[in-house]
Structure 1
């Protein structure tokens, strides 16, 4: 998970008594390299963790972050990325607002809380108070970028806070004007359960883990749950496919992939998962298996709408055959769901 990597890198510096500059995409308008909520940490030795989009905008951000870090300052900046007045030389045609936050050891407890929320996939609202950027802007701050009020610099850091379980207010957008605060909901997406850790399940776990999903590998065969076979996953659980409730309490924010070693166990898992109503449920299957499973679900009393919500066959139709290809097709479908429904990009 990219954001957790950024937070852990920043937290390591803060705990060591060092400072860093956290760069947050706080607003976008039109096309931009990254959406609201992308984070990047910049350190005194010139290194970085995370990205706000690469290319020219990131070069701008790195230079600005290093300047602010040296001066112990925070800043809110709006860059244009298209047309005659482009600040970046880019042709995306939009605008992006970056918030630079000067962090020191006093913020370590807060960032430990943020790391815990991200690691455990709990919901929380991270808030940046923008009022100081309006009321405490340093004298002599020159608006070098397009627009009269495109840059606001303050000493130190504005107030930052985290409210777990959130206020159900999602991203604000500072691309056009400065709102009272930037509010970002952390972890609207829950755990990703993969039931069945054979060749396809293992390949899918690798791809989804690399894409930032918190994968819980589940199987009824101990030999498939080794760190060597399922490396880097969030958790490994030896389960009884007929009774998942205790070890796998699937919730409405969770995603479920069913790829067990047999059709009967697939159906057992699918029925239990459908009753739990996860955010995503997909199952491996041929056309013949699809018809069989749908008929069985009708017998179990599921409505047509509920059955239609099951991704079976799972994945994007790309004529995939080998486990790695199938894993990519599954990941593509899940990433699309993540970016369009679970964590939609804010513009």
Structure 2
């Protein structure tokens, strides 16, 4: 196993004397020995490029990569002691499962008895010991994914790299395989970097999450902190389904105003009162809003536009004046007709769950 240091990594494509757009913009991260790190972000944010740079499949334009106290920036992929699991499995179709798993360690001239021991041990761990003589075309998608993982595990590398390995699986299989990956990581404990665009994978797999946006790290923190203490409006809106509600508000006479609605009960943090600024972004998760009866003190009036019923819960789509808002609530039968016509509702929020963001920088402001 090994710790990983990413020191000011930049990457652009094109000739050095040309003004090529930066794909990675000064990436800095310290990954501890044995951590499972998930890199998440929208398409085009640079997450797969970052993984390829760490793997040695791309050279950084500048910066250094250290794996296990060894600088590997200029080394070939084969010299970095890493194993990579790809989105498309990358199995040799003419080889059996056993041959696929043995291929890499045979090239390393490992003794035959050690090859057999590692394959037997890994196959049992991944529950693929009964398909060692089959070829990839005879396997399901989940089995192929486990074989690809097994091929990486038998190498016993210092670092695992996963490039969206579950994106080709259906939803049910993706869930079970995700749990399998997490379980196996606990067993073998090898430092891992896992790239995905799926926030559910990120939240359930990671010890810590790197949220990327436009080639830079927006936040690097635990899943809990990413969700409950987002560093920016981007993180707040990207992590969470449905996303955090973000309202453009103004502060006048120590009161918070959202268009023509005045939130008289909201306590304004001292740092914001003393900032001299009037425009802010107020964030709150949909589950921290509550529908209350007419006449309830400190309730806001909203106009609901649609209700989605999702089994045990409902999502209420509404507006505060012109600004959209989503409320997540337990399934309530009296709300069932709101999808057919506009209805007025009354809303309260959890004061302890508010998030304040600077309207210019879009960064979180400490309450």
Structure in which a larger fraction of residues adopt helix: 1
Kindly name which structure, 1 or 2, has the bigger radius of gyration based on alpha carbons: 2
| Same fold? TM cut 0.5 | no
TM-score by length of 2: 0.29
Structure in which a larger fraction of residues adopt strand: 2
TM-score by length of 1: 0.30
